Each structure stands twice: as structure tokens, then as C-alpha cells.
Chain A
């Protein structure tokens, strides 16, 4: 009798717990093309292998291994929704206080012509925002004035408006921008299975994202971890 109850509870758990660990569940309204593109993109990073990785990479992700990246992402993002809106240029977002493990892709995921590494950067960035235990790694306001190393004001290419005062920077090493800099920096430097283009793109987008890490100590730590000796 108790065995039957155990089996019943097991089946019920499987039914109500949703998909097995590692499988993404898509909301019904997610277009097939968007689902396929996301899975293709995730498949790309899940093939990554490297025998070396940086210390910061070890602390955030672990070793450089597609399985590790897969677990990291899929343990945070359990469901994928879809927002057909394309306003604001957003490609993906997480609503941390209503459904933190659900990532919403917008129509821009496939409509805009971003390289694959850029799409991956966005979804890994957003995956960081799912972490309830870390208060979803809120962003910091970019400083006023917000200037680069050569003293030039950092502006949005989209609008030409200064980023100063915008809630679009990170002050902590574990923030979503910093996390993707570490991920992309390591792919550009150490991935042994990536295409040349993927490695080049990882460097291009990773270096740019570093500008969003405004805490000098955190930024220097990343630079030392990734770029100084290279």
C-alpha cells in the first residue's frame, strides 16, 4: 500500500513540477521560430569546451564546459515567455518580483540582426536577474558625469544621449553586466571548440560591456582576470 502511495506521489510530483531538470518550458504563445533560435543559440554555448579558464570564471560558473553553462542557465531559467512588443529595443527581460524564473523574449530576439554571441549575452545577462537569493542583482545608476578612460563622455549610440544617470551600470562584480563580461572574455580567450567568429564576437561585445562596470575595483579585477596579460 505504502509503495503505491509512493508511486502516486512520484507521478504527481512529475506532473506538477513541470518539465524535468534542464528542459525549458515555453509558453504557448512563443513563436516556433523564436523557440528554435533560442535553442540553437543555447546549443552553441552548450558545445563550448576549454581546458583553461580565469579565476573569476571559476567563481561564477565553474570550469569552461558546455554542460556547466547549460546547468547554470537552466537552473535559473525554467520557463520562457514571449512579448511581441518591440518597443524600447529590449531583446529579453525578467520580471523578478512576479515570476523570477521566467525569462521573456521580445519580438526583437529574432527581428533585430544581432550576432549569436550578442543574443547569448542578453539571455545570460537576464538569467542573472532571476536570482532571488541575490535580490536579482539590481543595476546601479551610471555616474554623472559618465566618462571612459580617455575622459570622453559615454553616450548611447541609439539616441546620442549620455548614459550618465541611467540605471544601466553595475557596481558589483557579480552583477549581470560583469557576469557576461567574464563569460564572454573567457570564451574569447580560452574556448577551444568555438568558431573564430564566435571568439572574435565574444571579445567585441565583452570589452564593450566592461564599460558598464563602474566600480573601479570591480572593473580592475575583471581586467586583471582577463585582459592584462593578453
Chain B
């Protein structure tokens, strides 16, 4: 090989390396794939993300998530898969949600099948724990106004009469309205916050007029408890 050909070959390799570095620059990373965390239940909690992990922003389906947000989202996805509500990372990591992460979680909620009552309830819990803005409150109020889920098999269809063993079904009764009950619990906490009280009460009063008797009753009981404890 002549000296010129050698130089051309080295130049081509350098160009290729340069292109790879440019394509992998921050801000152009591929979206976080939730399948990356689908590795089954974990008995031992994973450590919270380290400082070094929290620098680069990651673009997740239209929302600019920081690396910290992306790590939090990955934790939430992992808990959704493991169904382990006692995972300590729920309290240690999935907190202080940024507006972008909140938006992503709202999006995630709407992507979930209506029958995924526990998954939806988990998202409502995380968002309801950090009620701050009108947008936060509106989302929970919308959850309360959702059409009732009629059966855990298929929210759009009632289980046929006689098909349900009432002894076994008592747990299902609550699960059918679980996301709504979690939203009500969040509003109950918000009643103790001067800045949120008025909006929270409005949402609970609207739920009280809801067509769903169970949700209406839970909202009414919450208001009564708050009145009894002198919250207003």
C-alpha cells in the first residue's frame, strides 16, 4: 500500500469516529426504552441514582427530561412491572417531580389500559403526592370524572349477573375505583394546604355529584371527615 493510500485510509477512519461522536452528543440521545428495566421483581432496592448520572438531558417522547428525571421514570417503570408497592425507592427516588416528568407521567397514565387499575393508581399517587399547580389539580379532577370501570376484565363491560362470587369480589369492588380513591386521598391531603384547599374542595364536591355512587360516597365521607376535624 502506498503512503498516500495509507493516509486516505486513516483519514476515513478518523472521519467515521468523528461522526459517531457527533451523533452521540447530549440532547440527541435515543428515547429511554422502558423495556430496559423489564427484568422482573426486585427484592433488594436499587441505590438511588448517583450525582454522575444526573447531568445529561434525555429526550423522552416530546418531553425534555433531565437524566435525573429519566432515572426516576425508570424506577417508576420498574415498580409498575414488579407491582411491588413496598419498594422503598417509591419514597426515596420518585419524589420532587419536575414539570416535564409530571407531564410524562400524565401521558403514561393515558397510555395505560383502563383495566390496569393498580398501575393507574400508582401514577395518580405519585402526582397527587405533589399537588402544586392548576395543571396538577386538573389532572386528578379529570381522573375523578372518568367513566366507571365496570369490570376488571373489561372496563367497558359489566360482569354478567351471577358471574361474580361476592365473597371473592370484595377486593375487586375497591380496585375498580382505585385510581379515583387515590385521587380523593390526594385531595384530602390538599385540604390541609391553604393554597390548594379551595380547588381541592371544588374537585371533591364535583366528585360528590359524580354518577359513580362509590366515588360520590368516598368524596362525601372525605369532606365530612375534614369538616369534623375543623379543616375549614
The chain A residues found within 8 Å of chain B, CB to CB, are: 36-37, 40, 43-44, 47, 87-91, 93, 108, 112-118, 121-122, 139, 148, 150, 152, 155-161, 163, 166-168, 177, 194-198, 200-201, 203-205, 208-209, 212
Contact = CB atoms under 8 A, between A and B. Distances in A.
A121 B87 CA distance: 18
B175 A90 contact: no
A166 B173 CA distance: 15
Nearest to B217: A152
A124 to B, nearest CB: 11
Given A89-B164, A158-B164, A197 B90 contact: yes
A40 B217 CA distance: 33
Interface residues of B, number: 51
Contacts of A205: 171, 174
B41 A114 contact: no
A122 B171 contact: yes
A165 B100 CA distance: 51
Contacts of A201: 85
A196 B129 contact: yes
13 contacts: A44-B86, A87-B163, A89-B152, A113-B116, A113-B118, A114-B118, A115-B175, A115-B178, A150-B217, A159-B162, A200-B185, A201-B85, A208-B173
B190 to A, nearest CB: 14
B158 A160 contact: yes
Contacts of B87: 195
A156 B169 contact: yes
B115 A113 contact: yes
Kindly name the residue among A108, A204, A205 whose own CB sees the greatest number of chain B CB atoms within 10 A: A204
Interface in B186-219: 213-214, 217
B26 interface: no
A89 B116 contact: no
A158 B166 CA distance: 9
Contacts of A152: 213, 217
Contact of A114 (B91, B164, B175): B175
A159 B85 contact: no
B170 A197 contact: no
Kindly name the residue among A43, A116, A152, A194 whose own CB sees the greatest number of chain B CB atoms within 10 A: A116
Given A37-B41, A88-B165, A89-B164, A195 B170 contact: no
A209 B170 contact: yes
Given A90-B168, A139-B167, A156-B164, 19 more contacts: A37-B41, A89-B165, A89-B172, A91-B171, A114-B118, A116-B85, A116-B86, A118-B118, A118-B175, A121-B171, A155-B213, A157-B173, A158-B176, A159-B161, A163-B166, A197-B122, A200-B182, A205-B174, A208-B173
